[in-house]
Structure 1
């Protein structure tokens, strides 16, 4: 690798820092990560089986690396909004003890709905995100 002094003067600081960190591994062509530590990775040279530590900042993965790309996170379902419920709708939800409650909406508040389950269970104030509509067939 032949680099001129002009190229080094014009190089960004991050590239110079990586070069400084990689000088002990100048002859390393292909390696694999053996161990991950708090701030460093242990790299093994595939040709010579020599091991050394390298800071994470100096690792630049190649485009042809064999590591699989992580799958994108699935998109969350759309948020339930107040406009999706009306007074008198039958809804269900799970309370803090994971018991299923079914009731009727008696009031629509800004962030929650007031639900009347029955005479013995009383009224519940439940966030719209925890409600699901009950459809009678």
Structure 2
């Protein structure tokens, strides 16, 4: 399924149409054949990946108990037990990333808590930071010891494999121009 197209269509819908769609999806997900299709592929003790909507990311968990409409899991990172809907478990190892087609920067659905991202600050310095929180239109990053609220459209994935969260990086073109050398593309 192309989530970019779905998101584009959703952006054209009214709030009522989105609410109606959510109600229809909830009814379909609760149908016994969907639940049984997933439940039949799970076993107690099995390690699975589930989608955490709060973090907007996949997480690993161990199946503890299979119930009629929900499954009890132990989140392997937090060691917390969660009762969740069968549909939240990624039994097919589907790609959970939603790649919005945005002209610049990242879309909110492309960012997850814990990601290391970069942005250009007010002084034209490239900064990297770890995502602490997802807000409606911004992301809270921890850059060294400072917290920054940055619009999603200004964020980019880390390209420099040696970048460390919180590190201030020089932009090649700007550094060369400052040294008197000609900037190269």
TM-score by length of 1: 0.40
Report the structure, 1 or 2, having the larger helix content.
2
Question: TM-score, normalised to structure 2's length?
Answer: 0.30
